[in-house]
Every structure is written in structure tokens, then in C-alpha cells.
Structure 1
Amino acid sequence: MSSSAPAATRTDSLEAHLKRENPLLLEPLAEFRRLDAIARRMGLLARHESFTRRVPWWPVISLLGTFSAGKSSFINSYVGKNLQRTGNQAVDDRFSVICYGEDAEPRTLPGSALDADLRFPFYRISGDIDDVAAGEGQRINNYLQLRTCQSEAVRGKILLDSPGFDADSQRSATLRITDRIIDLSDLVLVFFDARHPEPGAMRDTLEHLVAKTIHRDDASKFVFVLNQIDATAREDNPEDIVAAWQRALASSGLTAGRFLRIYDEASAAPIENEALAQRFKAKKDEDLAEIHRRMTGVEVDRAYRVVELMTSAADTLAGEAGVGHLQTLRTRWRNRTLAFDALIAVPLLAGVAAAFVWAPRATRELGATLLSGRPAGWLMLALIVTLLGAIHFGVRSLVATRIARSIAPASQQPFDLDIRRAFVANTRWWRSVFGAHPKGWTMLARRRVAKIRSKQETIIRRLNDRFTQPSG
């Protein structure tokens, strides 16, 4: 489906899928549609855009980290198939989106299959890539691929396998994609390689995946995985390795980091000491079970996150990032326009006053002509008014253009709000500089947004009724 198709068509398709797979999310979808309608009238969204673009409707589990950290091996073990290529070097420089497919044999589809499908977390990511690397959005297939797998482990969820941070030459675009998937993920597994216990060598990963984590409201969704821990069996020092990584996390500002220690038994070298082997295996089984438990739980977490995102979208629209930002820009536009008008009017009035002083007779004759009611007087008056009007509207247009150029693009705004588009819509020649509210932000719109924000508790209670039984 084309990315330029009307958003209503895409949300209709999404609704059909949710009816079959997760009817609980139909109510939040309806509220998103109402928000879309309000934002489009305000100019904050284009006709083909939707708040649902930033909402993954299927649970998302991301696997991030450095190359050779064992992400692909973990995925192959999890799905029970040899799906992802593995190796000690960077074997794939693209993000792989893995989901369930009916075909017995796995399929690999191009990145454009993700860029144009609202249901996936990379919908219209090509525009974001273009913002940081002009022209790269057209090469979306160089960044993404979609892989299908007939495995019950991925039914109803999406796995994201990332290229190694230190293996990618298209750095800016890769980090933009990584930021997107971190925002949308329900669970982020950050893999480190226990065979390379020098945290300093993983500076980029620690900076991007750890340092930024401490400022997030959803930092609990990050799980740090120390893979190939069996490599430490010869020295029997896994605790030392874990301590080294914990110190690295602390140096990046994250003091609560905890590592789960795992390895792949199928590819692990035998541990000759039987007692030591049992100790390593018991710890691995315990931590792996916790990872699997977290991965299973994302299906429930996703429903609650969609409701939270619904409220967040309403708050963003009505708050400082949306209406507040737009109002600030409109005020700046009005004040600058009036200031320039004053700069023009003051010299003009000063000129008229000077004319009365230095040429009183000519000034009186001009005034008599203007007030005489004769055609020449009306024509002269019309010319003066037209000139002043042209100056005023030229000034306000120039001021609006300069302000619009300073506004960050939609891809850098929360929920892709197009503040620039909305501001331009508010500065059309027929709109007064003294308007009280932005275009489309009517009393009815304000009431509807407030109603959407208040629905969170009602929808959460319905989810609780399905997943909990407080009465026992």
C-alpha cells in the first residue's frame, strides 16, 4: 500500500487486523482516529499522516548491541530455526524485522515492505533517514529487511535484530533507526560479548544504549545480556566479567544495571569440570528463563503501552509540544509583525508632521483633496491604503517565512507533529495576527481531546478485567 494513500484507508486495514487478533485495541484505535481528525484540521498532520504511525500495534522486542555479541544465535535458538546468519564478524549490516509467516520456509522481503505498512514499527522511516542523510531514504532496502518465520515463538509479536553498532558505516541513519526502535519497543535486550571484557572498546554502544537510558521513563524495559559467558569457564571468573561491565555502566551514569548471563549450548565448547559445567548451566538456564518470561510478557505489556501512547499523544497535542509550541510561534510572529509595522508607521507619521511644519500650504491642499470626495481624492486615498496594506502583508509574510524556516521538521517533533505546516496555515493572509487560538483549536476540539485523555482509566480497567482478578 502506498505511503501517500489516505490514512483512513490504512487505519481501516489496521482495524480489520485488530478485530481478528486483538479486539481490546479497537477502542484506543478509535481515539487515535479522533486525534488525527483534530490534528489535520489544525495542520499538525498531513492528510496521509496519522498518530498511529508512531504506535506499533504488535509487541516489539529489540535485540541491540555490538557485532559478534550473539544476537543472531540467540534468535535462531529462540525461533528453533537457522534464520539469521551468525559469525564473529559483521555478517549483516541491515536491521532485520522478524515476524510470523505461514510458509514453512523463511522468506526475506525488502525494506520497502516495512516502510509502507502501518502495522510495522518502521512505517515511513525513509523520511526520517532522509532528514539525517539526504537521499538515503530512497535506499531503504540497504537499511532494512523483513523476514518471516513459521515459529510459534514469534506469533503475535515482532523481533528486531540490529546490525552491530561498530560495524555500520552509515552511522547517522543507523542511529536514527535505533532511536526509533528503542522508543517503540516493549522490551530491549542489549547484548554484550563476554569474550571481549574491555567495556571501553564498546564506547559507542554504552553511550547510545546506556547513557541515554537513565533519562527515560521506561528504562525498566532494558535488559542487559552478557552472552558467551561460557568463555570464562576456563578461568572460572564470570563474576569478574560481570563486575567489569557493571563498572562500565556506572561510568555511563547507570548504577542499577544488571546483567543476565547466557550462552548457546549447541555452539559452546565443552567444560571439562563437571561441577563447573553444572554451575554454569544452572545459571544460564535461570537467566535464559527470565529472558523468555520477559519476552512472553510483552503481549500483555503492549496493550497497556498502546493506551499510554494514546494518552501521551493527546497530551502532546494539547500541551507545550503541540498547541503550546504553535501558540508561542504565533505570538512571536504577531509581535515581530507589529514591531515592523511600527518601524514603518513612525517614520510615516513623522514625515506627515514634518510636512505640516515645513510645507503647511501644500499639506493642507493635499488633505483637502483627500477629503473633498472627488474621484482624485478617492483614488489617492485608495493608493495610500493599498500601499500601507501591501507593506503590512509583505512584512507579515516575510516574518512568517523566516520563523517557519527555523522550525524543526516533523520527524524531529514528538509524534511527528508538523509544527511548521500548522504555523504556515495560521499565517495565511486572511488570518488575523490577533487570533486568540490556533486554527482548528476550537472549544469543541479542546473538549474532545480532554475526553480522550480522560478515557485512559476506563480502558485500563477493561484490560485489568481481562488479565487480573483482584477478587480472587
Structure 2
Amino acid sequence: MNSSAETRHAATLEEHLKRENPLLLEPLAEFRKLDRVARGLGLLAPDDSFTRRVPWWPVISLLGTFSAGKSTFINGYLGLELQRTGNQAVDDRFTVICYGEEEEPRTLPGSALDADPRFPFYRISGDIDEVAAGEGRRINTYLQLRACNSEAVRGKILLDSPGFDADSQRTATLRITDRIIDLSDLVLVFFDARHPEPGSMRDTLQHLVAGTIARDDASKFVFVLNQIDAAAAEDNPEDLVGAWQRALASAGLTAGHFLRIYDEQAAAPIADETLATRFKAKKDEDMAEIHRRIRAVEVDRTYRVVELLQSAAETLRGVGGAQDLREYRRQWRSRTLLYDGLALVPVVLALLAGLFWANDGTRSLLSTLFSGTIMGWILVVGVAAVAVAAHLSLREFAAKGIAKKIPPAWQQPFRLDMRRAFNKGKPWWRSMLLANPPGWNPLARRRVNKVVANRETMVQRLNDRFTMPSG
């Protein structure tokens, strides 16, 4: 992709936001300011942008075990039979669901997502290759895109995942799941009430509960016990719910949103009318809460984009950005000086010995060096060239050692390429004695600081739209 393509992408996104959410036009402009700083540092490639790392419309994800009823819930929410359902694993791919104008749903391959920056899986093939070499070429085995004519999904994206215990390509699947969690405004984690015991929930408990309870955005997780009508056949239905909640508590989750639902059309009749009424009332209440949370994501997304802007700015000037780059440069200087000392000091001492003492009793090398003769100048230039060449080789060797320690881009905040940024400062013509990396100058610092300072103003404008803070 070249700069003109990047310009077209930015213009398309701007037009989209003008129609869908004009309040995000200001954050878009601020992100483009951060782009200039990140490209100057080498954290972003010339054809890359922060705007490609921010989903500009709400994302609702459904994760969990394979039989937990995620697809059934999606079909009910959309009002059409889009996703295949069943008690066994019926789909082993992540499905991105968005609005389409055609009456008949359309299914497109994963490459349609990988190559389109408007979707949250843009260039996900590269992330997959990082953990499973060569798997990125098989993107269509991991992802698919479905468009449907349902007003319920207009202006938002639904993400349906394969069950954790139904997928054989675990490493790549977990990588995609992590990407989903980071991008989502709402994460519905489904469990099967027919199998609430910890054994069948182990993978989900570990990755979606234990791994998320400490997140700053943990409030976006909602834990749903589906097919709760199965408990009606139990002598004490609350025992089943209690087992589920104990399993969550064992993973460290003691507070949060815990909802219980079932599909009335697929549920077996409950003979006890009192029990049936109680189950339905609870189901209706919790379904209403899920729908309320889904409706709220449009407002939440707007605030989240502003928070992501703040986070991106803080990253550029702190951990994951200039602060880490300064530390890597400090380590590089120290290591190079150490190598210089270990390698060059013995050579210099040997050279000095030869300068002061000539073996044959004739003129010493020291006299030759300072004699002003052609031979003297040749010796001076030769010694200097050897020393410089040795220093540059050791400097490059030290830089490679430091670069290997730097985590890859997929492990960095916003997938910023710290290795690229570090390597930008290692060419021989750039002094390693400078503390700041190339591109981190007073102008760049002012740009980042101004974006941080503008955050409160943007939040206040959002508040003016959605609230009346002045009464």
C-alpha cells in the first residue's frame, strides 16, 4: 500500500464518520497527528496508521464453549436463520456479521476481512503467522464474513467464535480471540447450563475469565449461562446455577454480570407452571439486560475511541514508545562500550608496545607515526580505519543482541513495531550517544502532549451530547 492509498483510506473513513458519528471526526484528526509522530519514530510503517487499529463502529463478540448456544442467540437477535446451530461444533471459524442490503445473506471468505482496513481483522494473517508459521496463508480456514439484511446489526458488528474446545488450531485461535477481546465494546461469554462443571469449562475459564478479570475494561464482559431451562428438571434448580458460579469464582471472578437465559422456542415445556413462570421472568429480565447492553455500545464506542486516543498518545511517549526506545538505546550504548573495551583495549596496548619498542633496534613505530612521512600517514590512517571498523562491527553486533530482546509488534500496545523503531536509530551515521531515538524531538513531544491535553475537551463535548452536566 502506498501513501495515496492511505490518503484514500483516511478520506473514506472521514466520509463514513460524517454520516454515522460526526463526534468522532475530532478524534480521527488527532489520531492522524499521532500517525506523524509514530512514523517519525519508526513505530509505524509509512503506509500504516493508528486509524487502522481502531474499530470505528461498535463490536459485540460472543465467545464460549461450542454447545453454549451462541449461534442460536445470534439468530434470535437478528430475526433470521443466519448461523448454523447444533449440539456439536458446527462451525470452526470466526464469523464477522455485518449489515448488507441484499435480501439473501451472503458469505465471503476470510481474505475479505484480512485485506479491508474497515474491519477489525485487517492484516490478521500476519498475527497468525507470528505464532503459527505459514498459517496466515490459510486465513479462510479461520475467518469468514457474513452480511445480512437485519436492522438489528446496522451500524455495528457481531463476532461469533468457534467453541474453545472445538478447535484444533489452538494457538492461532487464541491469538484471534485476544484480538477480538481488545477490539470489542461488549463481550458475551456463553456457558452451557447442561454442562456447567469446571471440566468442560476449563479452557474458557482460563482464557476468558482468569485472563480478563484484571483488565481495565473488565466491565465489558457479561457471563451468560444459556439453556438454563435444563435446570427445571433438577430437584433444586439453584444447585446448577451455584455450580456455575462456583466455577467462575474458582477462576477468580467474584463480581460481575451473571445472566441466565434460554431459547423459548427450543426449550422443552416446564410442567410446573409456577417454576415455568419464574424461569421465564428471569429469562426475560436477563435478555432485556443483554439487549440494553448491546444498544449502549454505540455510545460506549464513542467514549472508547477517545480513551484509545489517550492510550495511543501515552504509549508513544511512555512504555511501548519513546520511553522504552530510550532504555533500549541506553542498553545498546552500554553493551557497545563494553564490547569496545574487551576487544579494543588489548589491541591498543599491543599497538602501543610496538610503537615504543622497535624489535630491531631501529626507529620505533611511534617515531614513524609522527615523522610526517608517507609511511607515517599510512600507519595513522590504517590504525584509525581498523579501530573504526572494529567499533562499527561491535556496535552492530550489540544492536542485533538488543533487537532480539524486543518483543514483536503483535505483543506491543497498538501493535507498534518497536524493533523497526530501534533499528531506525542504529545506522552508522546516527550517533548512539544521543539519548532520544530518531524522531522524538521537541515538535513530536509537543504534538503528543497536545493530544493528551485535548482529551478532556473531547470528553466534555461527548457529555454535552449525551448528558446535561450543567443541569
TM-score, normalised via structure 1 length: 0.96
**Residues 225 and 259 of structure 1 are in contact (CA less than 8 Å); yes or no, is this contact kept in structure 2?**
yes
1:325 and 1:221 map into 2 onto residues whose CA distance is: 30
What aligned pairs does 1:64-463 form with structure 2 within 5 A after superposition? 64-235=63-234, 237-355=236-354, 358-359=357-358, 365-463=364-462
**Residues 60 and 160 of structure 1 are in contact (CA less than 8 Å); yes or no, is this contact kept in structure 2?**
yes
**Residues 3 and 124 of structure 1 are in contact (CA less than 8 Å); yes or no, is this contact kept in structure 2?**
no
Deviation at 1:356, TM superposition (A): 6.1
State the Cα RMSD in Å.
1.7
Deviation at 1:13, TM superposition (A): 1.9
1:367 counterpart letter in structure 2: L
**Residues 43 and 420 of structure 2 are in contact (CA less than 8 Å); yes or no, is this contact kept in structure 1?**
yes
**Residues 61 and 295 of structure 1 are in contact (CA less than 8 Å); yes or no, is this contact kept in structure 2?**
yes
2:206 counterpart letter in structure 1: E
Moved more, 347-356 or 388-397: 347-356
Moved more, 110-119 or 308-317: 110-119
1:348 and 1:435 map into 2 onto residues whose CA distance is: 27
Moved more, 355-364 or 245-254: 355-364
Deviation at 1:71, TM superposition (A): 0.3
Cα distance 1:128–1:244, how it changes in 2: closer, same or farther (>3 A)?
same
**Residues 358 and 364 of structure 2 are in contact (CA less than 8 Å); yes or no, is this contact kept in structure 1?**
no
SS in 1 for 2:255: coil
Deviation at 1:234, TM superposition (A): 2.1
1:362 and 1:168 map into 2 onto residues whose CA distance is: 81
2:212 and 2:106 map into 1 onto residues whose CA distance is: 34
Deviation at 1:384, TM superposition (A): 1.2
SS in 1 for 2:320: helix
Cα distance 1:199–1:343, how it changes in 2: closer, same or farther (>3 A)?
closer
**Residues 34 and 448 of structure 2 are in contact (CA less than 8 Å); yes or no, is this contact kept in structure 1?**
yes
Aligned to 2:36: 37
2:384 and 2:355 map into 1 onto residues whose CA distance is: 20
Cα distance 1:96–1:384, how it changes in 2: closer, same or farther (>3 A)?
same
Deviation at 1:183, TM superposition (A): 0.9
- The C-alpha deviation readout for 1:190-222, integer Å capped at 9, x for no partner, is 001111132222100110000012211111111
Deviation at 1:166, TM superposition (A): 0.2
**Residues 185 and 300 of structure 2 are in contact (CA less than 8 Å); yes or no, is this contact kept in structure 1?**
yes
2:80 and 2:209 map into 1 onto residues whose CA distance is: 31
**Residues 200 and 248 of structure 1 are in contact (CA less than 8 Å); yes or no, is this contact kept in structure 2?**
no
1:7 and 1:353 map into 2 onto residues whose CA distance is: 58
SS in 1 for 2:168: coil
1:415 and 1:170 map into 2 onto residues whose CA distance is: 25
2:12 and 2:414 map into 1 onto residues whose CA distance is: 21
Q: For structure 1, list consecutive stretches of 5 or more residues without a partner in the other structure.
A: none
SS in 1 for 2:304: helix
1:222 counterpart letter in structure 2: F
- For the pair 1:61 / 2:65, whether they are aligned, the reply is no
1:399 and 1:471 map into 2 onto residues whose CA distance is: 59
TM-score, normalised via structure 2 length: 0.96
2:209 counterpart letter in structure 1: V
SS in 2 for 1:233: helix
Moved more, 230-239 or 114-123: 230-239
Q: Number of paired residues? A: 471
Deviation at 1:6, TM superposition (A): 4.5
Deviation at 1:414, TM superposition (A): 1.0
Deviation at 1:48, TM superposition (A): 2.1
**Residues 261 and 283 of structure 1 are in contact (CA less than 8 Å); yes or no, is this contact kept in structure 2?**
yes
Moved more, 83-92 or 2-11: 2-11
2:40 and 2:363 map into 1 onto residues whose CA distance is: 52
1:193 counterpart letter in structure 2: D
SS in 2 for 1:98: strand
**Residues 355 and 364 of structure 2 are in contact (CA less than 8 Å); yes or no, is this contact kept in structure 1?**
no
1:413 and 1:363 map into 2 onto residues whose CA distance is: 63
SS in 2 for 1:45: coil
- The C-alpha deviation readout for 1:298-357, integer Å capped at 9, x for no partner, is 000000000000000110111022111111111111111111112233213322453466
1:204 counterpart letter in structure 2: D
Q: For structure 2, list consecutive stretches of 5 or more residues without a partner in the other structure.
A: none
